[in-house]
Structure 1
Amino acid sequence: MLAILGFSMVCCFMYLIMTKRMTALIALLLVPIVFAAIGGFWTGLGAMMLDGIKALAPTGVMLTFSILYFGIMIDAGLFDPLVRFILRLVKGDPLKVVVGTAVLTLFVSLDGDSSTTYMIAIAAFLPLYQRLGMSVLGLTCVVNIASGIMNISPWGGPTARAAAALHVDALDIFLPMIPAMLMACAVLMLTAVIIGRRERARLGIVDVEDFANGELALGNGDAEECARNRRPKMFWPNLILTIGLLTCLVLGLMPIQVLFMVAFGIGVTLNYPHLQQQKERIASHSANVLAVTSVIFAAGIFTGILSGTGMVDAMAQSLLHVIPDSFGPYLAVFTAVVSLPFTFFMSNDAFYFGILPVLAQTATTYGFTTLEIARASIVGQPVHLLSPLVPSLYLLVALAKVDLGDHQKFALKWAVLASLALLVGGVLFGGFPFHRAQ
């Protein structure tokens, strides 16, 4: 019953937001409470929700100050040269814009942090899409999937979790999967070409000469306000500060929340030293901050109830119980396939620490190694980053100003295609076998 309740709750949530009957914020707040009440979980319900909020509080702090930091950098014009350079390359061709989006996002995603990737990619490309009249859903789709592919790097979350759960080395999981990652990147480029060709057929090649010469639509407000907020003389200090911040993030010198708080303090003081200027810049980004952080804390209620009631554990066990014995020799591929829905309907922590050890233990009886199962388990990451349980997804849609349900409907099929490319690549290049004879 708990498993049925859990799956029903997630499906109800997805239905409500994809049909636009509720916003993600309201659905995250009310749907889990209703289903917890149906299950009779009145005692301790408040504590469950508070535990979930506490677990996501560091993420909320990080997103608050990262949005403010990159917002200040956008206002100051840090990304203007990058946008002009891209415009000179693409020359108003929507196909080249989408392909360029995919290429840049793959490189930016090397740090393994999807939130940082989204902020940089959206800041660089959103003005281009808006100026050319292109669908912003194409932008969010490509950026989301690129981040999901690169998320399986050793310093990314899923590979590190799989390594910790199965007591193996993250590099041993990652290195044999590099050819599969390259296949997934090729599929992403194909996706970008298809989306780009559709946009080119719809819009044609647009003349963007004036735009390329400096009339950039970056920042908040009208063109006059954007120009007033630019700080071209601060380009190099801002670039050095941003590179230093990203370097510290990759090296893990300090907690990411602290790094963004400190970097924001330095950045806003360098660019806008007067108190009134600082107040205006912070106020101009407050809507984006509120849109993201409110949903993050609401997601804490959703995940808190999902975990506290035991629904997530019941969901995991029920799925494991339906595995027929005939699937034994194919457990590696089976693990790869089920990683798509498993990591979509539950958090990475629940999958990698709750389900993966059971799958790996079962697979060893059929001759599989734990490393093979670990590699198969990371195949679903492009789909995982579309999950409503991933906090950074709300940052992406808020920055791009698109509807969450629209984004999921548009991107899901392409994300599944990228995951299947990882699966095929993993089998073809020896990451894990298709069949293990007993």
Structure 2
Amino acid sequence: MLSILGFSMIAVFMYLIMSKRLSALVAIMLVPIIFGVIGGFFTELGPMMQEGVEGIASTAIMILFAILYFGIMIDSGLFDPLISKILKIVKGDPLKIVVGTAILSMTVALDGDGTTTYIITVSALLPLYKRLGMNKIILATVAMLSMGVMNMTPWGGASAMAMASLNLDASELFLPMIPVMGFGLIWVLVVAFILGKGERKRLGVVEIQHNHTNSEANSELAATTVSRDYRRPKLVWFNFILTIMLMASLIIDFMSLTILFMIAFAIALLVNYPDLKDQQDRIAVHSKNALAVVSIVIAAGIFTGIMSGTKMIDAMAITLVSFIPESFGPFLPVIVAYASAPFTFFMSNNAFYFGVLPIIAQAADAYGISAAEIGRASLIGQPIHVLSPLVAAAHLLIGLVGTDFGDLQRFAVKWALGTVTVMTIAAIILGVI
């Protein structure tokens, strides 16, 4: 009975958010409450929900301050020298331009936000693509491939949801994935090289005036991202060193990611914007993006709390295990790695990570496979997810580049699948899954 109730709840939840009858934020709180009441757990729901929310509170706080921190870095102009350097180096060589696109999009995607990544990358480089007559779909493809890998960071969305749904912390889920992401980024550079070489063969190397192009790109960048009043060019080295120290501290794992991002954000805000009014303005600018991500993670505490507290997740796992051939059990992580690609393409990350992943993780436990291992495997499909029409940032990218969604998907899907394959192989070799 609990299994039927649980699967029914997942089906209703996914239907409501995929059909846009309810927002994910509302559905993830109300649907489990309703089914909990139906299951006769009315008097026990309060403590279950409280425990679930408390379990993911630290993750939500970490995501909040990570988004604010990288927002400050973008506002202050940390990436401006990189943009200028890339534009200066690539000049009129299509191969260098495409590789430069990959490097820029990877760097900007550190903040985990597809919207910011696409705006900065396209604004900086689209004038060059237009001027040389290069294929704009290549620009969109390379930016998406970079975002597909970098979206696996804890503050990027997918990892946050996986951590919340499986009640894991970043050191368990994310840190082992860093070398896997490294292989994914290397693959993106290889793809950029292949595509760039094709464009160089088609167009040749064109001599252009650097200053004009750089000015054109920078003017578009200023118009689409942040007022120049908030740039802090004299603090670029300080911000760079602070970011490097933060990244190193994350890898060393000597302090929780939550505390590290809180401290780094406080330092960055105070040094870059000592004026109180400027601080308030910068926080206000990035609060919308932060609220959208953090609220869904906190709300997920209700979902996971009820799923665990009512034992629905256990009953569902037992049912699922009964359908999995015994011989397939040890291969579940690899199956999940590939299955997460179509799952997150046809349904939102919310539906997959909160609806499907906990069931798979519980089933995998019967084969001695940890939830952390399944969680890591579930992230590998993100390069396909970013191509989904369900991703709002993808529509922004299409609009910025001026191409058709279907054309982009047909062009990019094989390269995105290549990213999934490379990261899956790397994860197996490195013992991550």
Is contact 2:102–2:188 with CA below 8 Å preserved after alignment?
no
Matched, 1:237 2:238: yes
How far apart are the structure 2 equivalents of 1:314 and 1:118? 35
Paired letter, 2:364: L
Q: Partner residue of 2:112?
A: 118
Aligned-residue offset at 1:235: 0.9
Change in 2 beyond 3 A, CA 1:265/1:353: same
How far apart are the structure 1 equivalents of 2:325 and 2:153? 33
SS in 1 for 2:21: coil
Q: Partner residue of 1:67?
A: 67
Within 5 A, what are the aligned runs for 1:103-182? Answer: 116=110, 118=112, 123=116, 125-130=118-123, 132=126, 141-147=144-150
How far apart are the structure 2 equivalents of 1:315 and 1:197? 50
Is contact 1:335–1:359 with CA below 8 Å preserved after alignment?
no
Change in 2 beyond 3 A, CA 1:377/1:247: closer
Q: Partner residue of 1:321?
A: 322
Q: Partner residue of 1:364?
A: none
How far apart are the structure 2 equivalents of 1:189 and 1:233? 34
How far apart are the structure 2 equivalents of 1:311 and 1:4? 9
Q: Partner residue of 1:7?
A: 7
How far apart are the structure 2 equivalents of 1:16 and 1:346? 16
Within 5 A, what are the aligned runs for 1:344-383? Answer: 345=352, 350=358, 354-360=362-368, 379-383=377-381
Q: Partner residue of 1:288?
A: 289
Q: Partner residue of 1:50?
A: 50
Q: Percent identity?
A: 36
Aligned-residue offset at 1:74: 1.1
Aligned-residue offset at 1:416: 6.2
How far apart are the structure 2 equivalents of 1:337 and 1:269? 47
Q: TM-score, normalised by structure 1?
A: 0.64
Is contact 2:83–2:104 with CA below 8 Å preserved after alignment?
no
Q: Partner residue of 2:39?
A: 39
Q: Partner residue of 2:28?
A: 28
Q: Partner residue of 2:335?
A: 337
SS in 2 for 1:215: helix
SS in 1 for 2:43: coil
What does the per-residue CA deviation read over 1:87-127, in whole Å, with 9 as the maximum and x for residues that have no partner?
Answer: 44666999977765656777x79xxxxx95625x8655531
Q: Please list every run of 5 or more consecutive structure 1 residues that lacks an aligned counterpart in the other structure.
A: 110-114, 362-369, 388-395, 433-438
How far apart are the structure 2 equivalents of 1:10 and 1:189? 39
Q: Partner residue of 1:215?
A: 218
Q: Partner residue of 1:275?
A: 276
Paired letter, 2:334: A
How far apart are the structure 1 equivalents of 2:22 and 2:184? 38
Aligned-residue offset at 1:233: 0.7
Is contact 1:140–1:400 with CA below 8 Å preserved after alignment?
no
Q: Partner residue of 1:82?
A: 82
How far apart are the structure 1 equivalents of 2:393 and 2:380? 19
Aligned-residue offset at 1:232: 0.6
How far apart are the structure 1 equivalents of 2:267 and 2:80? 20
How far apart are the structure 2 equivalents of 1:296 and 1:84? 37
Aligned-residue offset at 1:80: 0.9
Paired letter, 1:212: N
Aligned-residue offset at 1:242: 1.2
How far apart are the structure 2 equivalents of 1:146 and 1:402? 17
How far apart are the structure 1 equivalents of 2:57 and 2:224? 34
Question: Which piece of structure 1 moves more, 66-75 or 418-427?
Answer: 418-427
How far apart are the structure 1 equivalents of 2:39 and 2:357? 24
Paired letter, 1:356: A
How far apart are the structure 2 equivalents of 1:278 and 1:193? 44
Q: TM-score, normalised by structure 2?
A: 0.65
Q: Please list every run of 5 or more consecutive structure 2 residues that lacks an aligned counterpart in the other structure.
A: 128-135, 345-351, 386-390, 399-404
How far apart are the structure 1 equivalents of 2:224 and 2:332? 52
Change in 2 beyond 3 A, CA 1:9/1:228: same
How many residues matched?
376
Aligned-residue offset at 1:79: 0.9
How far apart are the structure 2 equivalents of 1:280 and 1:305? 38
Question: What is the aligned-residue RMSD (CA, Å)?
Answer: 5.4
How far apart are the structure 1 equivalents of 2:94 and 2:367? 44
How far apart are the structure 1 equivalents of 2:184 and 2:276? 51
